[in-house]
Amino acid sequence: MTKATEVLPDTVSGLKQLLDAIERREVDIVLGSSSRRVLTALIESPQRTAVSSINELAQQLAVNASTLSRLAQRLGYGGFSKLQDVFRRELTEGKHFYSEQASRLVVNSSDPDTLNQLTRLGRQESANIASMIEQVDPTVFLHSVELLASARRVRIHGMRQFHSLALFIAYGLGMLRPDVSTLDTGRQGVADALAQLDEGDVLVVSSCFPYTPSVLATAEVAARHGIKVIALTDSASSPLAKSALHSFYVPNHSLFFSNSMCAFMLLAQGLLSAVASHLGEASVSALKHRETLISELNASL
């Protein structure tokens, strides 16, 4: 007599124990030989499983992407991204993320045509952009644009390479409306910066796996104090999405040795362009005023 699993494993070792139980028919989960092979391969290469897209894994394992989705559902995870989260946690906040990404470049370095890598990278980024656009909820996009245009204060926060994205958004939005900056622009620290915001102000945060713990904590604290959080992240299972009022999910799988930023930058440009349209003549006046100041300063040099 088999028994149902009560708690889904949240570690790779727990998954291995579940696989052993399935093979011994101790649980009410039935997997065919192909699914058992795939699950075994995922467990044996947790880093690869954590950082690869579902399509990349399917290609490496010689199965269809739908096979991975069905496997996750049969195990009780609902979707492959939930199963993949188990492997992502195994990397302990990305301890080996960058080296694992770089190792994929080394594996493919035997190709004598170096432009081949650029071509593949371009195709992957195009796929990321197309997937990102497909996932954008029109209502979420509209409400986010309205908040960015009308909130009394807007702050942007990102760390590491996402700091460059935060600077870009802060610069672009600051061209259109007042009281916009990166969260830590004064360098007094995040706590002091958050203390300057009131309930109803907006904080845009960005991070993806391996998530920066300080960014996650900042979003959680801001949301608890009534600050409206907009998250630019990688999936619905991202811890940032739990704190956000509105979230955008940006695929970022590529040959780059870190997280790809192309689709994130396009999303940022799309939001900024929509804010400019939403503000109408007010945005045009703001830009003309800036042009006047630039002209006056140039004349004085």
Task: Say what the pLDDT of residue 2 is.
Answer: 46
User: What domains are defined for the chain?
Assistant: 12-90 (1.10.10.10), 133-300 (3.40.50.10490)
Please state, in angstroms and rounded to a whole number, the distance separating the CA atoms of residues 157 and 219.
9
| pLDDT tens digit sequence for 34-76 | 999 999 999 888 767 876 788 888 988 999 999 999 999 999 9
Alpha-carbon distances, residue 232 vs 140, 235, 261 (angstroms):
12, 9, 11
Q: Which of 195, 248, 236 is nearest to 218 (CA)?
A: 195
Task: Say what the pLDDT of residue 101 is.
Answer: 54
| pLDDT tens digit sequence for 170-179 | 999 999 999 9
Task: Say what the pLDDT of residue 43 is.
Answer: 87
Task: Say what the pLDDT of residue 14 is.
Answer: 86
Average pLDDT, integer, range 164-174: 96
pLDDT above 70 coverage of the chain, percent: 86
Please state, in angstroms and rounded to a whole number, the distance separating the CA atoms of residues 2 and 28.
6
Confidence of residue 110 (pLDDT cuts 50, 70, 90): low
Task: Say what the pLDDT of residue 102 is.
Answer: 55
Average pLDDT, integer, range 141-150: 98
Task: Say what the pLDDT of residue 4 is.
Answer: 47
Cis link prior to 9 (omega < 30° from 0)?
Answer: no
Confidence of residue 93 (pLDDT cuts 50, 70, 90): very low
178-184 own/partner pairs: CB under 8 Å, 24+ apart: 179/152, 179/153, 179/154, 180/153, 180/154, 180/155, 180/156, 181/155, 181/156, 182/155, 182/156, 182/157, 183/155, 183/156, 183/157, 183/218, 184/157
Contact 128, 260 (CB under 8 A): yes
Strands of 202-206's sheet, edge to edge? Answer: 180-182, 154-157, 202-206, 228-233, 246-249
pLDDT at 5 over 60: no
Higher-confidence residue of 87 and 206: namely 206
| pLDDT tens digit sequence for 228-252 | 999 999 887 788 988 999 999 998 7
Whole-structure pTM value? 0.68
